[in-house]
Structure 1
């Protein structure tokens, strides 16, 4: 199946013009930073999301034969009842699968180095354990577990993955919280509260469930976006936010990029809705793809967004994205580091990595095929060395670790990426 939450929306004219005119990522990075280390600003004290690195965690991959109720090649194949192959693929980046105890054969040719082209399942507890170990090793404190409409056919599998995430978080000392994505969920208004009350609120009994300001955290992604997938009125959305607040929940909102100005990707009439969240995280995927675009966003979005949040007493958690590997946005880490640097020089305290495991959309930071030898022959899938720079499969995890350290003041604020592509 295809989830179009991450589909590219139009950029603002200003950002598009700047990005089009920008030099390459490597040449656009100035040798000397143009600002140094404003102290990090946060409305709330440090908790499980404020002052922390959070990564969006899909957990949405399954394979035939893994025992998952969905019994499909979930998110690996366009025709999910058939094995993924060169002609039946939903994959944009190939995972490094060497640390998974169980993998599943596909219809792809062997990898260029001769290994069989196997994939992992998020339904396997060991898979989730590996992912959370990578988070623990690389400074990712919290996982936002994505939860799409759980009342359809994928619901039982999502319920099971939530249990696996709880177990992995408890074992690795990570935190997690439920993040609802309202895309294409037409009965969201009543079902989201039902799902929390009857199922997901039980997770708050875990020592690993994220809390902020003493309250369990719930994320809601998608209110106010100007597209037909999320047609909800401001009144419907406000009712849902108020309900969660009434349950004593700290509500994080994944909001449109232009939430503050109500332009471009935002509907009109949502100003009060956005400002009723405890924390907001404006979406960034599809808006920028190089250093020039990142710098323009610093001026037109990050700095004024942070000022508005501080004025209103709202916590601010902007996105950091590695870039779409298949579209060759990454510039061996310079693109991602520039976002971390811009957040640090603005005084941002928290960041949301989008995403941890999104191999089917190319925005993953989890371990990824490092070289052409690590991808299926003839697949056309790029590895991390696509621009000629050799990168280890864990490079974007290590880059995330250093970015978080810079935001916390453990590294100096610098535009020069300190993380070597190979350890």
Structure 2
């Protein structure tokens, strides 16, 4: 997998002193002069979409526990894991059995595969429900082992984006891509450019959007010269594309995270999107970044006719950074008061680094008992699994002026105020059977508001699928 974006930043960038959060900081910045009119990225919220999880048995060409575990040939377990927190699996119709112990509620510890179309459809339905505009599909070196699976993921994302009214674009991550300069052009012309014919492919200023993440980073995984970077950027522009640059946070100020002499590379992009994961971890550090980077970056982009799409992150669950949404909302507030042109969320489904906004285990009842993972209630505040999706939706509304600029988070941790999870149903019984059916009954679960229904899961070997749902306390499974 190589060095991750987060690991690089943590190693290369020393933390700077954080300024205090004071009343004087609530003043609005002067309105920024956008280089481009509203489109599919300007004036919009974009989420980074990895789509890089697979499981043995899911029919993906990679045929492994892709990114779920360190050894992809073995199911994930406490000693073989690639993640730092656990997804909320209740809405997935197909799960794959892991080697973790059961969840705290006694259910088997299963994980989803991004290669299942239902998974992608579910994720894009969450985007649609929470007014998330655009998804940036991550694409790494497609010439290696991962290439065929990533090709398939592009088609699945296109299908889901079209059916859910969400835009998408290709975001090339050039980390460890040694022959990038020639191969990225071939990949675009022979494969990825075909997706621009989709009604869901993101366009800005009438041009298909492409992002290139990784130019100018000061490490061995990004060894590209100024000339090579400019060649690739200008080539994509020559193809009629609007080109975004995923760049170091210090692209303008200079510092340990960025190579020297790359100013012309940065100014060649149509839009700049600096990376912040691993650089900030609380509201005070967000304020420091606002003063040190955001205000000056915005002014520099305006001066050079570029658009600006800074990064907002929910925080690492395992690092206890989230502060039940206050950390993420402070970033939204800082970006909106700076007058930025768009916002990039890092990331939608990044369970590896714990920075996902996708639905996540609420309590230890939904986490494998032997995992050591924290849940969203780690600081004592119960948060519904969709909380960071809803928070992102409200941040987008503030960006668009649909709600007033406010430093006070308007999004409650639980929609509707239900903060008590239900108890587990008990005393499962077989009340009848035939050659192909089995009738089940159980004792009702308890809840302070009310239980709306039950999901009946069918476990076969290493996989589990949803056999059906029930509003009462009985169900007959058929087709056995």
Name the TM-score, length of structure 2 as normaliser: 0.84
**Does residue 17 in structure 1 map to residue 17 in structure 2?**
yes
The CA distance in 1 between the partners of 2:372 and 2:195, in whole Å, is: 41
Greater strand fraction, Structure 1 or Structure 2: 2
The question of whether the paired residues in 2 share the 8 Å contact of 1:11 and 1:287 is answered with no
Q: In the TM superposition, what is the alpha-carbon distance from 1:263 to its structure 2 partner?
A: 1.9
The CA distance in 1 between the partners of 2:25 and 2:291, in whole Å, is: 15
**Does residue 354 in structure 1 map to residue 355 in structure 2?**
no
Q: In the TM superposition, what is the alpha-carbon distance from 1:272 to its structure 2 partner?
A: 0.1
Structure 1 residues 38 and 411, CA gap change in structure 2 (3 angstroms)? farther
Q: In the TM superposition, what is the alpha-carbon distance from 1:37 to its structure 2 partner?
A: 6.7
1:128-147 equivalence runs, <5 A: 128-147=120-139
Q: 2:112 aligns with which of 98, 120, 139?
A: 120
Residue of structure 1 equivalent to 2:318 = 326
Higher relative contact order (CA 8 A, sep 6+): 1
The question of whether the paired residues in 2 share the 8 Å contact of 1:179 and 1:220 is answered with yes
Q: 1:420 aligns with which of 409, 412, 418?
A: 412
Residue of structure 2 equivalent to 1:52 = 44
1:197-236 equivalence runs, <5 A: 197-236=189-228
- Secondary structure in structure 2 of the residue aligned to 1:146: strand
**Does residue 250 in structure 1 map to residue 224 in structure 2?**
no
**Does residue 277 in structure 1 map to residue 278 in structure 2?**
no
5+ unaligned residues in a row in structure 1: which ranges? 23-27
The question of whether the paired residues in 1 share the 8 Å contact of 2:266 and 2:272 is answered with yes
The CA distance in 2 between the partners of 1:273 and 1:36, in whole Å, is: 31
Q: Which has the larger radius of gyration?
A: 2
The CA distance in 2 between the partners of 1:393 and 1:2, in whole Å, is: 30
Residue of structure 1 equivalent to 2:141 = 149
Q: 1:77 aligns with which of 61, 69, 79?
A: 69
Q: In the TM superposition, what is the alpha-carbon distance from 1:346 to its structure 2 partner?
A: 1.0
**Does residue 104 in structure 1 map to residue 96 in structure 2?**
yes
1:355-370 equivalence runs, <5 A: 355-370=347-362
The question of whether the paired residues in 1 share the 8 Å contact of 2:2 and 2:176 is answered with no
Q: 1:407 aligns with which of 394, 399, 417?
A: 399
The CA distance in 1 between the partners of 2:208 and 2:341, in whole Å, is: 20
Q: In the TM superposition, what is the alpha-carbon distance from 1:91 to its structure 2 partner?
A: 1.2
The question of whether the paired residues in 1 share the 8 Å contact of 2:347 and 2:356 is answered with yes
- Secondary structure in structure 1 of the residue aligned to 2:370: coil
The CA distance in 2 between the partners of 1:123 and 1:142, in whole Å, is: 20
- Measured against aligned partners, the alpha-carbon deviations of 1:154-177 in whole angstroms (never above 9, x if no partner) come to 000000000000000000000000
Q: In the TM superposition, what is the alpha-carbon distance from 1:35 to its structure 2 partner?
A: 1.1
- Measured against aligned partners, the alpha-carbon deviations of 1:230-271 in whole angstroms (never above 9, x if no partner) come to 011111111101110110010010011111123221101110
- Measured against aligned partners, the alpha-carbon deviations of 1:346-400 in whole angstroms (never above 9, x if no partner) come to 1113100000000011110000001111100021100000000000000000000
The CA distance in 1 between the partners of 2:353 and 2:267, in whole Å, is: 30
The CA distance in 2 between the partners of 1:280 and 1:215, in whole Å, is: 16
Q: In the TM superposition, what is the alpha-carbon distance from 1:144 to its structure 2 partner?
A: 0.3
Residue of structure 2 equivalent to 1:381 = 373
**Does residue 261 in structure 1 map to residue 253 in structure 2?**
yes
The CA distance in 1 between the partners of 2:318 and 2:395, in whole Å, is: 23
Q: In the TM superposition, what is the alpha-carbon distance from 1:312 to its structure 2 partner?
A: 0.5
The CA distance in 1 between the partners of 2:12 and 2:27, in whole Å, is: 26
- Per mean C-alpha deviation after superposition, the further-off stretch among 36-45 and 196-205 is 36-45
Structure 1 residues 146 and 3, CA gap change in structure 2 (3 angstroms)? farther
The CA distance in 2 between the partners of 1:2 and 1:364, in whole Å, is: 20
Residue of structure 2 equivalent to 1:295 = 287
Residue of structure 2 equivalent to 1:306 = 298
Q: 2:186 aligns with which of 180, 183, 194?
A: 194
1:326-345 equivalence runs, <5 A: 326-345=318-337
- Secondary structure in structure 1 of the residue aligned to 2:135: strand
Q: In the TM superposition, what is the alpha-carbon distance from 1:2 to its structure 2 partner?
A: 5.4
Q: In the TM superposition, what is the alpha-carbon distance from 1:39 to its structure 2 partner?
A: 4.0
Residue of structure 2 equivalent to 1:25 = none
5+ unaligned residues in a row in structure 2: which ranges? 416-480
Q: In the TM superposition, what is the alpha-carbon distance from 1:6 to its structure 2 partner?
A: 2.8
- Measured against aligned partners, the alpha-carbon deviations of 1:61-115 in whole angstroms (never above 9, x if no partner) come to 0000000000000000011100001111111110011111111000000001111
Q: In the TM superposition, what is the alpha-carbon distance from 1:300 to its structure 2 partner?
A: 0.6
